[in-house]
Every structure is written in C-alpha cells, then in structure tokens.
Structure 1
C-alpha cells in the first residue's frame, strides 16, 4: 500500500465522520454526539490477543457506560465473521458483547483513521484506540502492535483524566488517578509568578513555580 494512502487524524480537531455497517446495524459516527466514544480496532476475528481484548472490554463495559462512553469496535472482517466470533466469545466466557463492531471490509474507516500500517500488515488494522468527546472532537489516540494487548485500566484512566480536566481546568500528572492532586497551570507573566509565590499555602504541593499541585474533589 502506498504511503500516500495513509492519513492520520489530529488531536483537538473534529473526528472524521463515517457511515459503516456494524453488528448492531448501520452506524454514523456523528449520531453519537453527546456521548464519549471509544473507537478501537483489532487486526482480525478469531485471533487470540483480540479475543482477550474483546472479553476485557465486555467485562468492563458498565464502567465505560458510567462515564458516558459508547464502545465501538472495528476490524477488516465481514459482518458474518463478526457475528460468529462474538457468539463464540459469549459461549466461551458467559459475557455479553453488545457494543457495535464495524465490518470494515473496504478499509474505508481504517484508512480514514490511519489504522493501516503497511510495515505491520497491509491487510489488517493495527490495534488503535481513538477517544472522541461529546462534541465530536478527537481527544486521544493510542496505537499498539499486533502482538500486544491493550490495558483497559489505562483507557478508563485516560477518559477520567480528560473529563476531570474539562471540569476543573487542571492538568493531570503522570500516573494520576481520580482523587489525586492535579497540576495547576503555571503563571504566564512575571507579575503573576511573584503574586503566586505569596499564595503557596493554597496548594496541596508547591514544588516549583511551574509545578504546583492542588487536590480537587
């Protein structure tokens, strides 16, 4: 596949809209406005790593729903392959997989979101995760090789961090979890910096003028 066919959506810009066939019927991405969306791809149905991931998403689906998130899966397989695989996973695990899975046989959505990496595979989408906010803006992207399964805890943490930042205006430090202190944006002028030094007691941690942390419920 020529590199000229490769596109990559950009953060903080509208997520590319599409209409696609799924295991739950036709889906238009823009119809999901008002919800957070986690669009995730997997290389192929009936493969071991992908199977563990789908079961992990299904097991944690209620946690995603509590955050206002709609899960949407995707691979370059047919609807019939998807249905047979999902049925087999449910029989194997006892879990119900009721989020839609896109059948992207023509690779339209995969190409639109830069999921086809020829050095990894020319016929399968890599493992990618796209986090889209209720306004339809792309807020996060995660890419994994075919050999490595995703960490569902991190995807949930990522969404919680984005929602926390939207609500408070604070930034989240490394390894942040809900309830942890968050980063206050540093002052933009020298006058603000000097004025802020007099208010050190207002912060949970005041390490430097550019690294101040505050706990917000």
Structure 2
C-alpha cells in the first residue's frame, strides 16, 4: 500500500472539508501541521479523540500548528457529527475548531497509506486507521504514527513530540526518553567538544559508561 516516509514532501492534495475545498499546502501556509485520521464518524472512540483534540486545540495553536482531521465520511456527516463531538465536551454552542476532510472515495486514504485492513464498514470496505502525520513548514513529513482503529491516541504525547520536533529543528540537540519541555537535552554526537562548549553556555555534562565513549552528553537549554 502506498505511504510516506520521513522527509518526504507531503502531497499538495485538494479535498473537500467542513470549511470548503482546500489545497493542503495553501491551508498550511508557513505553519506546522498535524493531519490525523479516524475510522468513522458517529463512533465512540473517534468521538472521544476529536473531543480531546478540540479541547486542547489552543495548545496546538500556541505552537503554530494547524490541525486537520480526515475520515471516509461525507462533509455533511462531518458537520452533523461535529455537534456530537462538541457536546461531548459540553460545548454545544461552539463549533469544532479545526476542519475535517471528506474522503468518501478513499482516494486520499489509499495515497497516504491510511487504511486499516482489519476494520471494515457494513459494506465490507476498509476503514481508515488512526494515522498521525506532523508536517513541517517546509511541507516535509516530520513524524508519522499509525494506530489501529481499536486504539485511541494520546494527544498529550502528540504535543510532547511536536515540542521535541520544533526544538530539535532549531537546536543541535536530541531529546531523550520521556523528555518534557525544560528537561535536559542531549548534545548530538556530530558536535565536537569545542563546538558543544561554544553552543551551550550552560555547560555540557557527560555520563560515564563502561565503554569509555563520551557520547551521553547533556545540557540545559
């Protein structure tokens, strides 16, 4: 099945959405973007996911990330279901704060490798899995995560990885396991000690290991 690899240029597709027809690169502009698919409207796990995404949409906006969802349902279904999503948050008068792409012909889902072969609708057609794509301002794929239809996502983790992606795009660092903003980061191995000392005025500490190799280098930004 076709799909995308990290670093690939994200397709500049055109699609109908709940805010009208869009051209994806124009929709993103110079922003980061997150595109997340869900199997089907009016289903339980999907409703909890989009309700969570709506509830924390300000956190994505704060990071300069434009949000957009996708499923195989029609624009009309998306608009009706959006009311249920916001009602789940007890916000019946507030519209969903991001658009949903209608991919009822599954053309985009096939192009992006989003279909879940084990989950099918009443007609036996495959549903979209829970894909997550994070796209940079250069329109290249920075992160992809693929969940099966039966497993809901953790949006706190998506915010965490976006924080990491945005930080490491600007600084010559990497983020270690379970990193959170304001934690220490790791100096990338390609930097010499002299370069690291010049770049990181707060200093660099090295964890000693049995091999004697000094690759576990930490700094506080």
Residues 48 and 34 (structure 1 numbering): CA distance in 2 closer, same or farther, change over 3 Å?
A: same
Matches within 5 A, 1:128-207: 128-187=131-190, 192=192, 202-207=203-208
CA 1:123 to 1:133, structure 2 compared with 1: closer, same or farther past 3 Å? Answer: same
* Structure 1, gaps ≥5 residues long: 1-5
Query: Equivalents in 1 of 2:156, 2:111: separation in Å?
Result: 27
**Correspondence for 2:15 among 15, 20, 34:** 20
Give yes or no for the alignment of 1:126 onto 2:121: no
Structure-1 separation of matches of 2:56 and 2:87 = 18
- Is the 8 Å Cα contact of residues 129 and 143 (structure 1) preserved in structure 2? yes
Aligned residue pairs: how many? 206
Q: TM-score, normalised by structure 2?
A: 0.86
Distance 2:119 2:54 in 1: 27
Residues 206, 215 of structure 2: 8 Å contact kept: no
Partner of 2:29: 33
SS of corresponding position for 2:84: helix
How do 1:8-87 residues align onto structure 2 when only pairs under 5 Å count? Answer: 8-31=3-26, 32-87=28-83
**Cα distance in 2 between the residues matched to 1:204 and 1:24:** 50
CA distance in 1 between partners of 2:31 and 2:4 (Å): 19
CA distance in 2, matches of 1:178, 1:92: 30
| Equivalent residue number for residue 105 of structure 1 | 104
Structure 2's unaligned 5+ residue stretches are none
Task: Give me the whole-angstrom Cα distance separating, in 1, the residues matched to 2:64 and 2:73.
Answer: 28
For the residues of structure 2 that align with 1:141 and 1:87, how far apart are their CA atoms?
28
Q: CA RMSD in A?
A: 2.2
Query: 1:3 maps to which residue?
Result: none
Quick one: distance in 2 between partners of 1:92 and 1:182? 38
Contact 2:118 2:126 in 1 (8 A): no
Is the CA contact 2:69–2:100 (under 8 Å) kept in the aligned structure 1?
yes
The answer to which structure has the higher helix fraction is 1
Distance in 2 (alpha carbons) for counterparts of 1:79 and 1:65: 24
**CA 1:187–1:123 in 2, change beyond 3 Å: closer, same or farther?**
closer
2:116–2:149 Cα contact (<8 Å) kept:
no
**Are residues 1:211 and 2:216 paired?**
yes
